[in-house]
A and B are shown apart, each in its own frame.
Chain A
Amino acid sequence: MIPLTLVTLLASILVIVISLVSILLLTPLTIRILKSRGFLVQDFHKPSKPLVPKPGGPAIIISLIIGESAVYLFTGNIGILALILVTAISGVIGLLDDAYTLSGVMKPVSLLIASLPILLLGTFSSHPEFPIFGAVRLTLIYPLLVLIAIPVTANTVNTIDVLNGVVSGFITIAAIPIMFALALKGNTDMFLAALPIFTVSFGFYIFHKFPSRIFPGDSGSLSLGAIYGAIAIVGGVEIIGIIAILPAILNSFFFLSSVKRLVEHRKLKERPTIVLGENRLAASRSVSAPLTLVRLILADGPLTEKEITLNILKLTIYSAFLAIITASMTWLK
Chain B
Amino acid sequence: MPSGLRSLIIIITAVWAITLVESYIIFKIIVPLSLTSINFGISIVEPVVKTGLAGTLTLFWIYAMLKIRNVYAKNKIFSKPEGT
Contact = CB atoms under 8 A, between A and B. Distances in A.
Interface of A: 130-133, 136, 239, 242-243, 246-247, 250, 253-254, 257, 274, 276, 282-287, 291, 293, 295-302, 311, 314-315, 318-319, 322, 326
B23 interface: yes
A130 B23 contact: yes
Contact of A130 (B3, B5, B7, B24): B24
Contacts, number: 94
A97 to B, nearest CB: 28
A132 B4 contact: no
A247 B20 CA distance: 17
Given A130-B23, A299-B76, A300-B4, A246 B12 contact: yes
Contacts of B81: 285
A332 to B, nearest CB: 16
Nearest to A307: B2
Given A247-B12, A283-B77, A299-B77, A315 B5 contact: yes
A315 B4 contact: no
Interface in B30-44: 31
A315 B16 contact: no
A291 B24 CA distance: 30
Nearest to A291: B73
Given A133-B27, A257-B69, A291-B69, A246 B16 contact: yes
Contacts of B2: 300, 311
B11 interface: yes
Main SS class of interface, A: helix
Given A130-B27, A274-B83, A322-B13, A311 B5 contact: yes
Interface residues of B, number: 32
Contacts of B82: 274, 282, 284-286
A193 to B, nearest CB: 26
Interface in B10-57: 11-13, 15-16, 19-20, 23-24, 27-28, 31
B16 A322 contact: yes
A112 to B, nearest CB: 22
B36 to A, nearest CB: 19
Given A246-B15, A282-B83, A299-B77, A314 B5 contact: yes
A283 B77 CA distance: 7
A298 B4 contact: yes
Nearest to A315: B8
B66 A257 contact: yes
B59 interface: no
A71 B68 CA distance: 43
B31 A136 contact: yes
10 contacts: A130-B23, A133-B27, A243-B19, A285-B78, A291-B73, A293-B8, A296-B76, A297-B5, A299-B7, A315-B9
Given A130-B24, A257-B66, A285 B12 contact: no
